Structures are given as structure tokens and as C-alpha cells.
Amino acid sequence: MKRNFINDLIAWKESKNRKPLLVTGVRQCGKTYVLKEFGETQFENVCYINFESSRAYSSIFDYDFDVERIIREIELLEQCRITAGKTLLIFDEIQEVPRAVTALKYFCENKRDLHVACAGSLLGVALKRENFSFPVGKVNRMQMHPMSFDEFLAANGEEKYIELFAGWKSDRVIPEVYAKPLERLLKEYYVVGGMPEAVQEYVSSKDFAAVQEIQETILSDYADDFSKHAPVSEIEKIRLVWDSVPKQLAKENNKFVFSHVKEGKRAHELEAALQWLKNAGLVHLVELVQNAEIPLSANADSTYFKVYMADTGLLCRRLGLSYKDILGENDNLKIFKGAIAENYVLNELVTLRKSPYFWRSGNSAELDFLFEEDGKIFPVEVKAAANTQAKSYRQFCQKFKPSAGYKLSLKNLAVTDCDGCATISLPLYLVWNMDRMKSWKAKL
């Protein structure tokens, strides 16, 4: 299946300032597959080392950090030739060998012309460990995410929509012949999510039950990681926080409250557990901003936040919703569908490399997301259906005077004015395309 991340890897390969690469991301999001495909399509040969399945390789790094010696011994063990400019050297599950991470400093300093790419299922967790010698300034870092909606479209043979909307103009209404199939595909994506194995199963069988079995297995694997890789003192706390995330997200006021995780538990007891989940790539934290001025990061309240899951399909599975619930028109699930749409938008924004926050004004108004780009702040309101009435969005525009913003829903494409803010009503199924559509820049 085609992954957009390949383009980032190609840009890394061609960069004049390239350093060894560390790829982080939630387990089973496709890091190994993409790195191998990248190597096979962009290099003459690939040398792949998995430190989890081949523990013996760790001894190569025990002696010293002589890069030429390390390469020579890998060549002998793998019976391959490693040539700068022609070979991609992949170190997978590199977190299992901390000295291999340290060695990247010397690959950067002494063998910069060799392409070295590394990945690890829990690399984000490992890099936060105490006494872990990280080669600061000597590596490039990228984070990979589950498949986005446009990648889901491509996997299902619907590339025509990607090509179609690449040149779509914002003043053209989307005909029903395109809108209806895309709405259906979006709901299917809510159920399936972006974990490659689940997507592949759906592409092959169109069997939602089989997809949900795969999702259950993935969730079980995540739970096993808690026991195997988390500090013993934190395992139970991580489970409690992990179980609480979907429940709190599905509430009307979905601010994450530590006391709701378990009665009697306080923030300072659970903060490390939540941070572990974040470092593992399993959840995203979105912080509150009340004073929406640039830079947003300086105005964010790190003690007040929402927590989202890294994959919408896994969220639906953890909420216990069946595919019939998501695909149908059950009004009793309005709050759940709102949470799913919001989680979906957050993941799409993160994939687009935006850094979302949310805004709240006392108890009177709340805006789902806002992000900063090119010295401007963009408000984002999310609705699960076609209703785009949003008092909070208008209040934000009146108070902070943004030049442009987004209302994301199932309403058709349009650009309107909201108290001086050029507001793009963008269908949820086109969030992936928000930076590409022609004639928007002129309006913004």
C-alpha cells in the first residue's frame, strides 16, 4: 500500500544536510514496511538489521564506536556489501541496543555519506529513559502515523478522488456524485482506521468483523507492551489511563481529568503513565490556549488538555461501537460520533504536521482546534454532520480577528465571511487536502 511517508524519506535521502534518521511512531503503523520499500525503490541494495530478533548484533556495538569496524562486521555477518550512496542501512527496533543509538553520532561525524535509517516500536519511550545516551544534534527525526484518509482511499483503489481534488477550486460546489461516495468511504475509514493490517484486511475482504478481530489483536499487543516495557511501578497506572482515554473523549466536556481515571487518584500519581502513552505514540495531547496569540506554544496551559487516540478505528473498537453504529444514522450516538469526528480531524491535522491546540473562554465557549502557520492563527470547528452553526467559532473570530479559519463538517464546500474571517466550510472527507486546493491562498 502506498504511504505518503515515502516522500519524506526521499527528501531526507536527497538533503545536503542529511544525518542518520530516527523514525518513531506507534507500534504497527508500518515503519518497517515503508523503510524496506524505500530502500528497495531508491537504492541499489538494502542491509536490514532487526535488533529484537537478532540480539547477537548488539555485541558489535559493545567494543567501541569505530564506524568502519562496525560496517565491516555487519557485512561479514550479513554477507552483503555496504556502499555509501548505494546502500540503505536499516537498524530496526534500535531501542533494544542503546549503544547502537549512541553510535549514530559517529556515523554522522565519520560516515555522513552512508544512508542510515533507524526505527523502533517503542523508540519514543526509550529515548526518554534516564541514562540513555542520545546523540543530540547528530540525527534527523521523523514521526510516522497510521494511514490517513487519503492513503485509505488509495489503498481501496479510489485514487481518482485524490487526483480530482488536487486541482479543485474552492468556489465550486462538490456534486453529489462525488460527495456521497466520499461520505460513505469516510464512515468506513472511521471503523477501519489507519492501522495497515486492518486496512489491508478491509481492502481484501470488505469484512468489518475480520477488521475488528485484527484491531482487538493490536490492542492486546499494546497492553502486552505495558507489561514488557513500562516501569513496574507504572504498569497498572498506564492501564488505568489507557482505559480512561476513550471514555473521557466521548463525554460532552472532553477535557482529560485525572480524578476520573480512578477515584482517589491525583494528577501527580498518573502524569508519568500518561506521558508513557504519549511517548509510545498511542495518544496525542492537545493543550488549552485562552489567549490565542502567536506563539501559541507560549500561551498554552500544559495542565489543561484533551487526550486523543492515535487511530480512530481503534477508538471505535475501544468504545465498543459496531460498524453498524458508525455507518448508520443513529441519533442516540450523537456524542460518540462527535468524538470520533473530532479524533479523526486531530489525527489528520497531526499528519499534516500542524500542532493543534484548543481554545476555551470560561464556560461560555470552546473551539475544537486552532493552529499556527505562516505567522497566522487558524481556528477550526468540527461537526460530525452537516450542521455548521458554531457560536464559539464566531466568538473566537470576534475576539481575536483571525484572517481565515475552517468549519469541518459534512456540509458542502464554500468560503464565507464570519466577522471578517474568511471561513472555509470544508467537508470532513477533504481535511487531508486543506493545504492543496487551488484558489484558497488568494482568499486567505
Query: Which domains are assigned to the chain?
Result: 5-143 (3.40.50.300), 149-443 (no CATH)
The SS3 assignment for 282 reads: coil
Give Dmax (Cα) for the chain: 68
Could you tell me the pTM of the whole model?
0.94
The strand order across the sheet containing 357-361 reads 300-309, 283-289, 357-361, 365-373, 376-382, 404-409, 421-427, 414-418
Name residue 23's amino acid: V
Look at the block and give the residue holding cell 481492502.
203
63-111 residue pLDDT tens: 999 999 999 999 999 999 999 999 999 999 999 999 999 999 999 999 9
Residue 126: band (very low, low, confident or very high) from pLDDT cuts 50, 70, 90: confident
Question: Which of 14, 15, 21 lies closest to 108 in space, CA to CA?
Answer: 21
Whether 181 shows a pLDDT value over 90: the answer reads yes
Give me the mean pLDDT over the 249-255 stretch.
87
> Which 3 state secondary structure label does DSSP give 245?
helix
Q: Determine the Cα–Cα distance for residues 57 and 400; give it in Å rounded to an integer.
A: 56
Where is pLDDT greater, at 264 or 230? 230
pLDDT tens, residue by residue, 374-429: 999 999 999 998 776 778 999 999 999 999 999 999 999 999 999 899 999 999 99
Residue type, 40: E
Strand bridging mode 365-373 / 376-382:
antiparallel
pLDDT digits (tens, 9 = 90+) for 5-27: 999 999 999 999 999 999 999 99
Beta bridge partners of 435: none
Report the C-alpha gap between 269 and 237 in whole angstroms: 8
Nearest of 435, 256, 270 to residue 339 by alpha carbon = 256
Percent of the chain exceeding pLDDT 90 equals 79
Write the single-letter amino acid at 315.
L
Give per-residue burial for 385-411: e unless 16+ CB within 10 Å, then b: eeebebebbbbbbeebebebbbbbbbb
